[in-house]
Structure 1
């Protein structure tokens, strides 16, 4: 059985898939997010964002600090709908 390295557990995206798209010229987190949906699952990228940013830095030769982390939209953590509902 082949070893599988799932990076984005929410969307079940493996490192080889991420590397394929980076090699094709997608060198920003938001680009990968639009194509692969990484960072869009229930964890909102808390599980995969840092790993993908490190991979982008390695592939582009940029320091990690220069790799754009992408847009984070609220809510960053899941919120129960009943907490947002009006009591009236």
Structure 2
């Protein structure tokens, strides 16, 4: 399936700097550019520095967009064996739900 068929832009790298890439953590392209200019050279380091993909959706919404943007901007960057991965919980759980102790 092509990028166009999935609805993803092929020109992510030219998007406005104020565009939010990760809505859960409110991380913009401009923030990612700023962090990368300080020497970040892997997607994982970008994740640790900005919290991108660490929000309520755990990267389900933005992971592919972040990886696509990073490697389009930094083609010589070291590719990681495992790209960003989703982490449990399988679905987001609020602290309120945990405090109630009921079935999730």
User: TM-score scaled by structure 1?
Assistant: 0.70
Unmatched segments (≥5 aa) in structure 1: none
As a proportion of its length, which structure holds more helix? 1
Of 75, 97, 100, the residue aligned with 1:61 is 75
Kept after mapping to 1: 8 A contact 2:56/2:92: yes
Q: Give the match's secondary structure for 2:69.
A: helix
TM-score (norm 2): 0.61
Gaps of 5+ in 2: 1-16
For this pair of structures, how many residues does the alignment match?
81
Higher RCO structure (Cα 8 Å, ≥6 apart): 1
The Cα RMSD (Å) is: 2.7
After superposing on structure 2, the runs of 4+ consecutive aligned residues of structure 1 that deviate more than 3 Å are none
1:83 paired to 2:103: yes
The answer to whether the 8 A contact 1:27-1:56 is kept is no
